[in-house]
A and B are shown apart, each in its own frame.
Chain A
Amino acid sequence: MVVLIFFLLGFLLIAIQTTFFHYFPNWLGRPDLSFILLVFSGYKFSWLPGLLLAFLLGWLMDVTSGVFPGTYLLLVLTVFSIVKFLSQNSSVKETIFQIPLVGVSYFIVQCCFYLFFSVTQPGILPPWSWSRIVQETLILLVASIPCFVFFNWMYEKITTRRLASRRLKRSGGNQFRQMKR
């Protein structure tokens, strides 16, 4: 259920990215909201649901972006796995590291992405531009603060509601009668 809701959220975010964001001025950039969601899922989701969500997000990105299907899928799964691994086995899981990690991971992903394509398909990507990458990373960092707050709020809302409904189910039947016995 949580995965489905977050997948729908990712769907919406990608739709926004591919439409509204293109009307923004260049200096405002186009923050990759689906990437923020991906890193968030690395923090919050357990391995299996998280991988499923990452897979779906990668699938969506493949459909909307680029010309080589499968690239984003691979990239997204790798990023999720690394973030998940780091958040489980290091102090990075602390809240204070979450936002900087989004920026750092985004920057590394862009570098790896460019490196991968310059080796496998040279000349297919535009020339590397430090200023552009740094600008995009900074914009993503700024955008990730409200996004994390919103995703967290949503996650808490869904999980608490689910827990409450489970408790209600467990404590079913006539409690008064049970107490009498």
Chain B
Amino acid sequence: MGVESRMLRPKTNDRKKVARFRFTRLFLLLFLFVVLLLVLLSSTSGSRFGVFHQITLEALGPIQTVFTRISINTIRLKDKYIALWNLQEEIDQLRKELDNYHAQLDEYREAYSRNRFLEAELEFKKHETFPALMARVVGKDPSFWFKTLIVDRGENDGVVTGMVARNSHGVVGQVVQVSDNYSKILLANAPSSAIDAIVQKSRVRGILKGADRQGYILQYVLKNADVKVGDVVVTAGIGGVFPQGITLGTVSRVRSKRRGMFLEIEVEPAVDFGRLEFLYINLSEEQLVIDKLSRTSSSAGE
């Protein structure tokens, strides 16, 4: 018994302590609640914020500001993203439209340049004195050694060998072979071609030889002749094949070597041989007569 009583004593003491602690805590909480209630009631009177409200608001304000900013920025970002998404679609659509406009523009440009070209050709045909037969280029020489063209006009249209082909820019070449409906034209820039030419300004004469990619070379012009870059070279009209004064090209380079008595003159062709589409064949009777004469002489020889 003595031992049991000793064991129970501390337990009762603990219980008392716990109960006292609980009571103190409850009292404190109640006190705090009452104080807070009183503070709240006193601070809300007169619809004004009291000190505590103000402190609370001051503390809350920055956090709210940060959160608001974050949310606003997020919304903006979202809006921007959606706008970008829409914008991408719009860009794609605009690009397509732009492509279409570019294609249309190309067509208009082509039509415009073609119109200008045809206008120039028509003007040329109107003012030209020789009987011109318009011919379309249907084929070009497949080998790179020769410079010939095939046009859709032949003997049935009055074309004979030796006739001169021209366009509004100048001399294109000469008819070398003819069939009923087509003819072959040797271009003036072929190395086998040679035209009697003069420099328009100084009236210096020479032989204009074809030089393939270089254009022409004006040969047999003496070193003391007055020839400068930019001078226009025209046909001399000697020999009766080419009429006088048809543009051949412009002097692009003049070289005078130590040796020899002639200048080396490069001439840039007036005609763009790479882009020939149409040309005119001179149907003048002179060439017909020459052709007939050559035919009769060859048949007499046989």
A34 touching B191 by the CB < 8 A rule?
no
Bits for A66-79, please: 1 = Cβ < 8 Å to B, else 0.
Answer: 11010000000000
Q: Which residues of A contact B177 (CB under 8 A)?
A: 67, 69
A61 touching B142 by the CB < 8 A rule?
yes
Q: Which residues of B contact A14 (CB under 8 A)?
A: 142
CB of A42 to closest CB in B, whole Å:
19
Is residue A121 contacting chain B, with contact meaning CB distance below 8 A? Answer: yes
Q: What is the bound-complex CA distance between A69 and B31, given in angstroms?
A: 128
CB of B150 to closest CB in A, whole Å:
7
Is residue A65 contacting chain B, with contact meaning CB distance below 8 A? Answer: yes
A32 touching B192 by the CB < 8 A rule?
no
Interface centre among A15, A17, A18 (most CB of B within 10 A): A18
Contact segment of A47-55, A123-131, A146-154:
A123-131
Q: What is the bound-complex CA distance between A132 and B144, given in angstroms?
A: 9
Q: What is the bound-complex CA distance between A17 and B144, given in angstroms?
A: 11
Q: Which residues of B contact A121 (CB under 8 A)?
A: 192
Q: What is the bound-complex CA distance between A22 and B142, given in angstroms?
A: 8
Bits for A91-135, please: 1 = Cβ < 8 Å to B, else 0.
Answer: 000000000000000000000011001000101111100001000
A18 touching B142 by the CB < 8 A rule?
yes
Q: Which residues of B contact A114 (CB under 8 A)?
A: 145
Q: What is the bound-complex CA distance between A17 and B140, given in angstroms?
A: 8
Q: What is the bound-complex CA distance between A92 and B114, given in angstroms?
A: 52
B146 touching A66 by the CB < 8 A rule?
yes
CB of B86 to closest CB in A, whole Å:
42
On whether A124 and B144 interact (CB within 8 A), knowing A18-B150, A64-B150, A67-B176, the answer reads no
Q: What is the bound-complex CA distance between A127 and B144, given in angstroms?
A: 11
Is residue A85 contacting chain B, with contact meaning CB distance below 8 A? Answer: no
CB of A36 to closest CB in B, whole Å:
12
CB of A30 to closest CB in B, whole Å:
7
A64 touching B191 by the CB < 8 A rule?
no
Is residue B141 contacting chain A, with contact meaning CB distance below 8 A? Answer: yes
Q: Which residues of B contact A32 (CB under 8 A)?
A: 142-143
Q: What is the bound-complex CA distance between A61 and B148, given in angstroms?
A: 12
The residue on A at minimum CB distance from B147 is A126
Interface centre among B145, B191, B212 (most CB of A within 10 A): B145
Bits for B43-66, please: 1 = Cβ < 8 Å to A, else 0.
Answer: 000000000000000000000000
B191 touching A67 by the CB < 8 A rule?
no
A65 touching B192 by the CB < 8 A rule?
no
A65 touching B176 by the CB < 8 A rule?
no
A126 touching B142 by the CB < 8 A rule?
no
The residue on B at minimum CB distance from A29 is B144
CB of B221 to closest CB in A, whole Å:
18
Q: What is the bound-complex CA distance between A15 and B204, given in angstroms?
A: 43
Q: Which residues of B contact A30 (CB under 8 A)?
A: 142, 144
Binding site for A on B (CB under 8 A): 138-146, 148, 150, 176-177, 184, 186, 191-192, 209, 211-213
Sampled A-B contacts (27; CB under 8 Å): A18-B139, A18-B141, A19-B139, A19-B140, A21-B142, A32-B143, A34-B142, A61-B143, A65-B142, A65-B146, A65-B148, A66-B145, A66-B148, A67-B177, A67-B184, A67-B186, A67-B192, A69-B177, A113-B145, A114-B145, A123-B192, A124-B192, A126-B145, A126-B211, A126-B213, A132-B144, A136-B144
Instruction: List 15 additional contacts besides A18-B141, A65-B141; criterion CB under 8 Å.
Output: A18-B150, A19-B139, A19-B140, A32-B142, A61-B142, A61-B143, A64-B139, A64-B142, A65-B148, A66-B141, A66-B148, A67-B186, A113-B145, A114-B145, A126-B191
Give 7 nearest A-B pairs by CB, closest first.
Answer: A126-B212, A18-B139, A17-B142, A124-B192, A66-B146, A22-B140, A65-B143
